[in-house]
Structure 1
Amino acid sequence: MRIFGIGDIHGGLKALIQVLNKIEIKDEDTLIFVGDYVDGWSESAQVIQFLIELSQKINCVFIKGNHDVWCENWLKSDDVNPTWYIHGGKETIESYAHFSKTEKKAHLEFFENMPLYHIDNENRLFIHAGFTSMHGVGKEVFKETFYFDRTLWEMALTMDKNINKDSLMYPKRLKHYNEIYIGHTPTTNFNSDIPMHAANVWNIDTGTAFKGRLTAMNLETKEVFQSDNLPALYPNEKGRNKD
């Protein structure tokens, strides 16, 4: 059995299909998605429909991201969060134009059932953004931290690489897990179009919302599979790019 971590998709269905074809997905595989399935490119609703159908065939874990929370709230109440609207929500709303009320209800249930984090049998934590409690995710007070926090990644990036996990100087919140897999903060912000590794944290959001690629990583071998960059797959769109 292979286990893959898959980064933020942001409405890029073409990228998702490319990546799944590259890893030659098998029935016994497990896919763990770190969130943000919507907002950015034009096929957000289609991504959700595809993932619902995919999960009926193979084992999938879908972590909830901040963009998924916004979309869930809109599907539930028709309330358009203005911050969401300008950060990909407009494109997501448009992608639902031809979806029925029944289909939208099924998508809402899909979002509602997403966990905020997942810990597997190897004590690997999968979470969209991060957490702040030194006692681990189970002790986090503000659940919004799970899909908005960037301090976990910032801390990991600034750590001295010579400090090992047995050291008293190693951050307590990192010691709870063998590895931590996150999305939310594009590696392209740091001039990298591949996953980044700092301390025991892996960032697998490789900038799909902008000019980057979608990434799947084999968690055992660390082999990386990537789509083409998203502007090449959607040449007539800007995604969340401003230029």
Structure 2
Amino acid sequence: MRRFVMSDSHGGYKAMMQCIERSGYDNDTDQLLFLGDVVDGWSNTMESIDLLLSINNLVYILGNHDQWALEYYIGKMKKDEETKELWLLQGGAATVRSYGSGKPMPQEHLAFLEEARYYYVTEDNILLVHAGFDTNLPIEKSTSYNLMWSRSFVTRCYNRYKEKRPVTIEPYKEVFIGHTPTIALDATQTTPLQMGNVILTDTGAAFTGCLSIMDIDSKEVWQSDKVMRLYPYEEGRNGISWNSRRGG
């Protein structure tokens, strides 16, 4: 069985399909570990979750956008207009359009998000989490904010990496995370970034980058086309479409 990791597709179903196809993913024998944020940004959130539901051997980690979408569709945002407006501006409006304005999220999709994990540790001691964790505490005592939202873990690791100091997060063999796009740290870092035993897998599919899928064991990477080119008439979370950017 090969093990693959992917993260932060943000409604980019077309990019997900390209990654699945280009990696030669075998749905009968392989495993996909997805580090969250399948929703919010491009127009195919509904199709993206349908695709994940079709994966036989899937581990899904809850991302901050997944949590937002879940809260919206179970009615938690009704009394919090400020959070609702922020979510809509940060890609949530595309998720609403994907399901249809005023329509509910299908129960199967709600259950998918509700049953997602906050983190996952493999049998060979590899940690997979959306945003990071508090290294001063056991992973099970980390708050949902640290696991889904905070960028402090990535910032500390990246600063050490840039200073050419060792990055070794114990007690894990490796740590795979999403949430922070590699291209936000370095515009030229368009592939997953390995910093010691920490691997950052979000390559900016929500913005101007590609979606990546990595074989956890061999570290081979396959990528989609630039996702904004797959949705040339959509602004996504960029605020400008590919065609507008090109002057077309």
Fold shared per TM-score above 0.5 = yes
Write the letter of the residue equivalent to 1:183. Answer: G
**Would the aligned equivalents of 1:161 and 1:199 in 2 still touch at CA under 8 Å?**
no
**Would the aligned equivalents of 1:6 and 1:215 in 2 still touch at CA under 8 Å?**
yes
**Would the aligned equivalents of 1:133 and 1:139 in 2 still touch at CA under 8 Å?**
no
Does 2:172 correspond to 1:177? yes
Distance in 2 (alpha carbons) for counterparts of 1:84 and 1:164: 33
Q: 1:164: how far off?
A: 6.9
Residue of structure 1 in register with 2:59 after alignment: 61
Moved more, 154-163 or 174-183: 154-163
Equivalent in 193, 197, 201 of residue 200 of structure 1: 197
Residue of structure 2 in register with 1:188 after alignment: 183
Sort the Cα spacing of 1:163 and 1:193 in 2 relative to 1 into closer, same or farther, 3 A: closer
Sort the Cα spacing of 1:91 and 1:41 in 2 relative to 1 into closer, same or farther, 3 A: same
Residue of structure 2 in register with 1:86 after alignment: 89
Distance in 2 (alpha carbons) for counterparts of 1:79 and 1:237: 26
Alignment gaps of 5+ in structure 2 = 79-83, 241-248
Q: 1:53: how far off?
A: 2.2
Number of residue-to-residue matches in the alignment? 230
Moved more, 7-16 or 80-89: 80-89
Distance in 2 (alpha carbons) for counterparts of 1:200 and 1:76: 37
**Would the aligned equivalents of 2:91 and 2:236 in 1 still touch at CA under 8 Å?**
yes
CA-based RMSD of the aligned residues comes to: 1.8
SS at match of 1:228: strand
Residue of structure 2 in register with 1:110 after alignment: 112
SS at match of 1:163: coil
Residue of structure 1 in register with 2:219 after alignment: 222
Distance in 1 (alpha carbons) for counterparts of 2:131 and 2:167: 23
Moved more, 144-153 or 203-212: 144-153
Distance in 2 (alpha carbons) for counterparts of 1:201 and 1:161: 14
Q: TM-score, normalised by structure 1?
A: 0.89
SS at match of 1:227: strand
Q: 1:163: how far off?
A: 3.4
Distance in 1 (alpha carbons) for counterparts of 2:34 and 2:102: 24
Does 2:49 correspond to 1:77? no
Write the letter of the residue equivalent to 2:38. Answer: Y
Residue of structure 2 in register with 1:171 after alignment: none
**Would the aligned equivalents of 1:196 and 1:204 in 2 still touch at CA under 8 Å?**
yes
**Would the aligned equivalents of 2:167 and 2:197 in 1 still touch at CA under 8 Å?**
no
Q: TM-score, normalised by structure 2?
A: 0.88
Residue of structure 1 in register with 2:235 after alignment: 238
Distance in 2 (alpha carbons) for counterparts of 1:35 and 1:121: 20
Residue of structure 1 in register with 2:127 after alignment: 125
SS at match of 1:197: strand
Q: Which runs of 4+ in 1 moved over 3 A?
A: 98-101, 160-165
Does 2:25 correspond to 1:25? yes
Distance in 2 (alpha carbons) for counterparts of 1:104 and 1:30: 25
**Would the aligned equivalents of 2:37 and 2:62 in 1 still touch at CA under 8 Å?**
yes
Distance in 1 (alpha carbons) for counterparts of 2:192 and 2:68: 26
**Would the aligned equivalents of 1:32 and 1:62 in 2 still touch at CA under 8 Å?**
yes
Write the letter of the residue equivalent to 1:63. Answer: I
**Would the aligned equivalents of 1:40 and 1:239 in 2 still touch at CA under 8 Å?**
yes
SS at match of 2:176: strand
Alignment gaps of 5+ in structure 1 = 166-173
Residue of structure 2 in register with 1:97 after alignment: 100
Write the letter of the residue equivalent to 1:180. Answer: V
